[in-house]
């Protein structure tokens, strides 16, 4: 950011807090204490400057050292540095009408800060593709607007900049949409369901009305995505938000998908950064249950996305060393697996006497969670076994 612009902004606000009592047509030489804060928007790295006269909590940069941006605003959308008070020399000629000479002329402080208490929903959306099916275009815009409204009302989150949504009749059509947007061909799609680049989101035929896919892509846009190491630092936050929107409730550790992961996987897979998506969400849910809240996890994720060492970022967010956390989580995961193993049933008949049937997540058959009857094969991989089983009449 141009230093002259920054200096002018600081001086302008300093003047507003220092000159109220002076008479008309005088040259004033004075100083004003100003606290300065630099904000970096996580979604695109843009910097913002907030300044206030004495007593505010704002940030400043220094020429002789790198700016530490590991802090996070309340909404989780901006990274923040440390607070410093600076003294700014001010020399200005003031002209005040005679009728009001000598009266205070206070200048109001700026209120449109980038992290305002009442955020405004980001704009949505242009649509490219399927010009012959106008209803499909209207539907995807309406669905994305619902995500945006949910995020603003529930989490106080919004996105910056415009969104262009690309849809097509077939998966192959996304190649054409991408080439039209960026002027170059893709060798392969990042995903046949959904992906994004810059202000452009792409949804395949099977996902343009998928609530989870729409919420996931929007959340990535709002908080920032990309390559984050370890992968588990980000996945849980995306899953948490998308599941909350799609299901109407936040994910719970007692859900079958998480119990299944605890039954078949090892807690140590998180430390080794090779856990499944559900296990990555488990570690996030466990962390906010035991050590903090969703906003803390966003701060942790944002810090790692900005390049901060994962151990440092985790301890700063949750006040526990990462190594100690790993040990505690792995012990908890082992205990959960022991409980699930000890309460498993040996057959469909045993299960039918104690637990209710439920519908598979992929198929349509009714049965029992596969981790509850582990000796039965889950042939259709829908998380449910014993489909079609009929309990004998007593």
- pLDDT tens, position by position, 76-131: 445 555 554 455 555 545 444 444 334 333 333 333 334 444 456 678 899 999 99
Torsion sign, CA atoms 105, 109, 111, 112: positive
Share of the chain above pLDDT 90, in %: 57
Neighbours of 211 (CB within 10 A): 18
Residue 54 has pLDDT above 50, yes or no: yes
* Phi/psi at 158 (5° precision): -145, 170
What pLDDT sits at residue 311? Answer: 95
What pLDDT sits at residue 99? Answer: 42
Residue 208 has pLDDT above 60, yes or no: yes
Residue 86's beta-bridge partner residues?
34
More confident residue, 130 or 48: 130
pLDDT in tens, 347-375: 999 998 888 887 776 556 788 999 999 99
41: enclosing H helix or E strand: strand 26-41
Say how far apart CA 166 and CA 174 lie, in whole Å: 7
What pLDDT sits at residue 387? Answer: 87
What pLDDT sits at residue 3? Answer: 46
Residue 134 has pLDDT above 70, yes or no: yes
Say how far apart CA 305 and CA 227 lie, in whole Å: 8
First to last CA, the chain: 79
What pLDDT sits at residue 47? Answer: 57
What pLDDT sits at residue 113? Answer: 34
What pLDDT sits at residue 74? Answer: 46
More confident residue, 77 or 344: 344
Residue ranges and CATH numbers for the domains of the chain are 3-100 (no CATH), 121-221 (3.30.2010), 224-234+242-343 (no CATH), 346-394 (no CATH)
More confident residue, 225 or 99: 225
What pLDDT sits at residue 123? Answer: 81
* Phi/psi at 265 (5° precision): -110, 180
What pLDDT sits at residue 93? Answer: 54
Does the reported pTM lie above 0.85?
no
What is the band of 229 on the pLDDT scale with cuts at 50, 70, 90?
confident
What pLDDT sits at residue 4? Answer: 43
What pLDDT sits at residue 91? Answer: 57
């Amino acid at each position: 950011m141009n230093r002259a612009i920054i200096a002018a902004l600081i001086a302008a606000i300093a003047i507003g807090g220092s000159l109220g009592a002076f008479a008309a047509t005088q040259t004033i030489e004075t100083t004003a204490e100003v606290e300065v804060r630099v904000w970096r928007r996580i979604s695109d790295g843009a910097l913002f400057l907030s300044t206030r006269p004495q007593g505010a909590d704002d940030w400043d940069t220094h020429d002789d050292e790198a700016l530490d941006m590991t802090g996070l605003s309340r909404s989780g959308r901006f990274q923040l540095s440390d607070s410093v008070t600076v003294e700014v020399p001010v020399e200005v000629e003031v002209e005040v009408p005679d009728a009001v000479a000598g009266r205070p002329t206070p200048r109001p402080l700026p209120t449109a800060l980038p992290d305002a208490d009442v955020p405004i929903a980001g704009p949505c959306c242009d649509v490219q593709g399927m010009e012959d099916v106008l209803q499909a275009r209207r539907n995807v815009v309406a669905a994305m607007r619902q995500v945006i409204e949910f995020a603003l009302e529930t989490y106080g989150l919004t996105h910056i900049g415009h969104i262009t949504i690309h849809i097509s009749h077939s998966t192959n059509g996304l190649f054409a949409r991408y080439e039209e947007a960026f002027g170059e061909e893709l060798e392969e799609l990042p995903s046949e369901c959904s992906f994004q680049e810059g202000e452009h989101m792409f949804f395949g035929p099977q996902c343009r009305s998928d609530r989870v896919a729409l919420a996931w892509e929007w959340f990535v846009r709002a908080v920032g995505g990309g390559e984050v190491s370890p992968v588990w630092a980000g996945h849980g936050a995306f899953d948490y938000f998308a599941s909350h929107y799609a299901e109407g409730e936040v994910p719970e550790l007692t859900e079958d998908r998480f119990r299944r992961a605890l039954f078949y996987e090892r807690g140590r897979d998180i430390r080794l950064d090779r856990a499944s998506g559900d296990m990555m969400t488990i570690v996030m849910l466990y962390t906010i249950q035991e050590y903090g809240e969703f906003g803390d996890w966003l701060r942790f994720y944002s810090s790692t996305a900005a390049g901060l060492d994962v151990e440092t970022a985790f301890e700063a967010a949750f006040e526990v060393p990462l190594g100690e956390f790993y040990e505690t989580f792995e012990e908890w995961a082992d205990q959960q697996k022991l409980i699930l193993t000890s309460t498993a049933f040996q057959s469909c008949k045993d299960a039918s006497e104690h637990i209710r049937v439920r519908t598979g997540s992929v198929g349509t058959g009714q049965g029992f969670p596969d981790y509850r009857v582990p000796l039965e094969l889950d042939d259709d991989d829908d998380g449910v076994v014993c489909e079609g089983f009929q309990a004998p009449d007593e």
